[in-house]
Amino acid sequence: MASNSIKIFAGNSHPELAEKVAKRIGLSLGKAAVVQYSNRETSVTIGESVRDEDVFILQTGCGSINDHLMELLIMINACRSASARRITAIIPCFPYARQDKKDKSRAPITARLVANMLQTAGCNHIITMDLHASQIQGFFNVPVDNLYAEPSVLRYIRENIDTNVNPAVIVSPDAGGAKRATALADRLDLDFALIHKERQKANEVSRMVLVGDVRDKLAILVDDMADTCGTLGLAAKTLKDNGAKAVYAIVTHGILSGKAIRVINDSALEKVICTNTIPHDDKRRICNKIETIDISGVLAECIRRIHHGESVSVLFSVAPA
């Protein structure tokens, strides 16, 4: 008789996070070989039976995003062909999440295309974290659990930043992140400020205007992702120019591509705190301003609750120890 146990597999995008998640549940990672042939075709071999099992495949959107996405699709399809009972894709940082709407003529909605591909491959459930736009959940016809890094961020601030000694203010670097920042400010009982930015083109900010008071306060910038860090660098300069005592940045997805490390090192930022939805150990070695918030506990508890048919809504407000 099938035990219907949990099987956790990992692609090549973030094996360290997968190991931490499996360890927290008390399991070993499932055996899977994911390799590339010399012509760059991806080959997947599932090395153990998944028949009638509850399969979870962890693959995040980073590095060689297209290769990692293809790996995930093939792994899902391989498990479906091997008669897995349910296949859940754990995608901490959802790829192509910024291409979620038709913002100009003939622009593709690539996030919807990714959603369609995952479902066609055979995915029954999606677990992700801090989607760039919550409406991406509507592109799926299968359940999507969009977890939040907010509880983990709250715990980090309470444990590492004494807001009683150092008056602090939560700052959103753009209007789009105002809801996220105000929610955090309300739970910490702190003031809120907003930076309005004007872009000439993608990934390039031309001018910033601060709305709110940061004078003689510790400014904590909060955003869902940091890519080239041009926004964070300019925001930190704007806050310092307006009298902020120090500037921290807390982001969920530390993509840190291109010249991001140089921007951080040259900026007025004291620290850039990222969750480990994306691996950045190599970046930490060359930039001592980067710190990490571990979210493996959140993902592990979500897996446990889904497997046992329990509600995951408690994870929206409480971070597991």
Residues 88 and 156 in one domain: no
Domain annotation covers residue 313: no
Domain annotation covers residue 177: yes
pLDDT the model gives residue 1: 34
Residues 131 and 166 in one domain: no
Residues 139 and 157 in one domain: no
Per-residue pLDDT of the chain (321 residues; tens, 9 = 90+): 346 899 999 999 999 999 999 999 999 999 999 999 999 999 999 999 999 999 999 999 998 999 999 999 999 999 999 999 999 999 999 999 999 999 889 999 999 999 999 999 999 999 999 999 999 999 999 999 999 999 999 999 999 998 888 899 999 998 888 999 999 999 999 999 999 876 666 666 567 889 999 999 999 999 999 999 988 999 999 999 999 999 999 999 999 999 999 999 999 999 999 999 999 999 999 999 999 999 999 999 999 999 999 999 999 999 997
Domain annotation covers residue 314: no
Domain annotation covers residue 298: no
Give all strands of the β-sheet with 290-293 in edge-to-edge order. 204-211, 191-201, 168-172, 218-226, 246-254, 269-275, 290-293
pLDDT the model gives residue 103: 87
Domain boundary among 147, 180, 197: 147
Residues 101 and 161 in one domain: no
Residues 99 and 129 in one domain: yes
Residues 174 and 284 in one domain: yes
Which domain CATH number covers 159? 3.40.50.2020
pLDDT the model gives residue 231: 87
Q: Which three-class secondary structure state does DSSP give residue 47?
A: coil
Give all strands of the β-sheet with 54-58 in edge-to-edge order. 6-10, 54-58, 86-91, 125-129, 144-147
Residue 2 and residue 115: Cα distance in Å, rounded? 30
- The residue segments making up the domain with residue 168 are 150-293
Domain boundary among 147, 182, 201: 147
Spatial contact of 280 and 252, defined as CB atoms under 8 Å apart? no
In what helix (H) or strand (E) does residue 147 lie, and over which residues does it extend? strand 144-147
Residues 118 and 157 in one domain: no
Residues 47 and 84 in one domain: yes
pLDDT the model gives residue 206: 65
Domain boundary among 147, 176, 195: 147
Which pTM value belongs to this model?
0.93
Residues 6+ apart with CB under 8 A from 308: none
pLDDT the model gives residue 196: 84
Residues 177 and 141 in one domain: no
Domain annotation covers residue 304: no
pLDDT the model gives residue 203: 60
pLDDT the model gives residue 202: 63
Q: Structural domain tally of the chain?
A: 2
Residues 89 and 162 in one domain: no
Q: Which amino acid is at 11?
A: G
Domain annotation covers residue 306: no
Domain annotation covers residue 237: yes
Residues 162 and 250 in one domain: yes
Residues 13 and 65 in one domain: yes
Q: Is 212 left (phi over 0), alpha (psi -120 to 50) or beta?
A: left
Spatial contact of 71 and 58, defined as CB atoms under 8 Å apart? no
Domain annotation covers residue 303: no
